[in-house]
């Protein structure tokens, strides 16, 4: 990675200096309660290293999609509380992004203090397409850490976005890759340049359109491409099979047909499906052949035969990338497919394979289903960023660090 890292910054010295850190603290909430603190926990090493070295740490992060204005339901208050618990020290929460409270608190910081700014996306300039607007917010952020400040990019989940707290601040301050960002990029480079074979990719989730670019990019390079989740039904429809009331992107059927024609020896689809009479945790369900989904029923998981067949392919792989669950794992009745596939990847890891969970719902599934996090070589914090990197796209938040 041709950028300076956190270790370089620490070697230069940060005691008494303000350091602006862009973290990814976008955790899921249920009525204000954090249901998966994974991203907060992943952000701790970089923050802790700076704190212990005597930096005055100012954190920026977002939560949800507040549309450029304050939304109490998306305040970072619960995040600040959990982060304080993980760090074992007080974390101040500013009442605004770059307003009077943020400025006053930043001026009062002493060595080793941590200040979390309120949800950066409460300010519409963060996500603006206008370079001047983003630049103005970036300059206000820089003011909080002073002229001798530094910027550490540690929010991998947002490096594919050209946003003020990700991209523009790096053009104004000496910039460094945090521990998390450096590790994520190293893992993805290994997936694209140093892959041991057989190389297997597992894709799930709801929409083919969300994964089309990564399918196009990876299908020519991998030995096995397993497709499950809601997106598999558009592929099944492309084979002329009935899919009942399952999730279907009709406009993508022809595209899927073309992919199946080109990569018939690589793409693997479910042969049996767990169908339900409604989308509910307690719905009536049954296992049917993939070519016998009844009218009015919807597929909510891959069937046991498919899980076994996919598992056999995955346990023999030497490299595995997984992004997207096989079914509605949030409902226990429809979690078996995701669980069995994940367990097969764990088995591959135990046999020496390099295995990567591509963030998002897959990472949530690992924790929700009680699977061992150390059963995988790496669990990414950024699903969208991971996919765009594997698609071959330039990630603005990484490119700016190389400048």
Quick check: is 340 catalytic? no
Q: Is 330 annotated as a binding residue?
A: yes
Q: Is 362 annotated as a binding residue?
A: yes
Strands 378-379 and 354-357: what pairing?
parallel
Q: Is 62 annotated as a binding residue?
A: yes
Instruction: Compute the distance between CA of residue 32 and CA of residue 234 in angstroms, rounded to an integer.
Output: 36
**Active site residue: 17, 22, 39, 125, which one?**
39
* 8 Å CB contact between 64 and 75: no
Q: Is 189 annotated as a binding residue?
A: no
Q: Is 309 annotated as a binding residue?
A: no
**Active site residue: 360, 382, 383, 397, which one?**
360
Ordered alpha helix ranges (H), 172-246: 179-193, 208-218, 232-238
Using DSSP, state whether 357 is helix, strand or coil: strand
Q: Is 25 annotated as a binding residue?
A: yes
Quick check: is 129 catalytic? no
What is the chain's Cα-based Rg? 22
Q: Is 4 annotated as a binding residue?
A: no
Q: How many CB atoms lie within 10 A of CB 35?
A: 12
Q: Is 211 annotated as a binding residue?
A: yes
* Angle CA 397–401–403, to nearest 5: 120
Instruction: Compute the distance between CA of residue 83 and CA of residue 161 in angstroms, rounded to an integer.
Output: 24
Q: Is 64 annotated as a binding residue?
A: yes
Q: Is 359 annotated as a binding residue?
A: yes
User: 32: alpha, beta or left, given left = phi > 0 and alpha = psi -120 to 50?
Assistant: left
* 8 Å CB contact between 297 and 277: yes
**Active site residue: 139, 207, 221, 271, which one?**
207
Q: Is 65 annotated as a binding residue?
A: yes
Query: Length of the chain, please?
Result: 403
Quick check: is 384 catalytic? yes
* Angle CA 54–60–62, to nearest 5: 150
Residues with Cβ within 8 Å of residue 398, at least 6 apart in sequence: 3, 159, 181, 185
Q: Is 223 annotated as a binding residue?
A: no
Residues forming beta bridges with residue 299, ordered by sequence position? 275
Q: Is 39 annotated as a binding residue?
A: yes
Q: Is 245 annotated as a binding residue?
A: no
* Phi and psi at residue 157, to the nearest 5°: -65, -10
Tell me the binding residues.
24-26, 39, 62-65, 121, 161, 211, 299, 330, 359-362
The residues assigned a catalytic role are 39, 207, 360, 384
Detail the residues annotated as belonging to a binding site for substrate.
Answer: 24-26, 39, 62-65, 121, 161
């Amino acid at each position: 990675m041709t950028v300076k890292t956190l270790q370089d910054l620490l070697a230069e010295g940060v005691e008494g200096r303000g350091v602006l850190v862009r973290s990814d603290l976008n955790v899921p909430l249920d009525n204000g309660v954090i249901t998966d603190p994974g991203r907060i926990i992943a952000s701790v090493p970089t923050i802790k290293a700076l704190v212990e070295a005597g930096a005055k740490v100012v954190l920026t992060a977002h939560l949800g999609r507040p549309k450029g204005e304050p939304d109490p339901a998306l305040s970072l208050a619960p995040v600040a509380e959990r982060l304080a618990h993980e760090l074992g020290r007080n974390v101040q929460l500013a009442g605004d992004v770059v307003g009077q409270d943020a400025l006053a608190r930043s001026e009062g910081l002493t060595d080793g203090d941590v200040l979390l700014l309120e949800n950066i996306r409460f300010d519409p300039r963060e996500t603006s397409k206008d370079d001047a607007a983003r630049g103005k917010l970036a300059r206000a952020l820089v003011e909080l850490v002073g002229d001798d400040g530094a910027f550490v990019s540690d929010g991998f989940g947002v490096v594919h976005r050209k946003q003020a707290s990700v991209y523009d601040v790096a053009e104004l301050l000496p910039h460094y890759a945090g521990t998390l960002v450096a590790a994520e990029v190293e893992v993805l480079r290994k997936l694209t340049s140093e892959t041991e074979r057989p190389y297997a990719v597992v894709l799930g989730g709801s929409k083919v359109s969300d994964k089309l670019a990564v399918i196009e990019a990876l299908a020519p390079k991998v030995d096995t491409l397993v497709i499950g989740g809601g997106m598999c039904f558009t592929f099944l429809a492309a084979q002329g099979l009935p899919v009942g009331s399952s999730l279907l992107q009709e406009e993508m059927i022809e595209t899927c047909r073309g992919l199946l024609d080109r990569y018939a020896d690589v793409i693997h689809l479910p042969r049996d499906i767990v169908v339900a009479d409604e989308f509910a945790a307690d719905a009536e369900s049954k296992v049917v052949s993939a070519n016998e989904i009844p009218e009015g029923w919807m597929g909510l998981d891959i069937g046991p035969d498919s899980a076994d067949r996919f598992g056999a392919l995955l346990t023999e792989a030497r490299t595995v990338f997984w992004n997207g669950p096989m079914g509605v794992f949030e409902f226990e009745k429809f979690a078996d497919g995701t669980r069995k596939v994940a367990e097969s990847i764990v088995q591959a890891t135990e046999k020496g394979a390099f295995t990567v969970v591509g963030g998002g719902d897959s990472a949530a599934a690992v924790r929700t289903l009680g699977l061992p996090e150390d059963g995988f070589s790496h669990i990414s914090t950024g699903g969208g960023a991971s996919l765009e990197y594997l698609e071959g796209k330039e990630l603005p938040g990484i490119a700016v660090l190389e400048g």
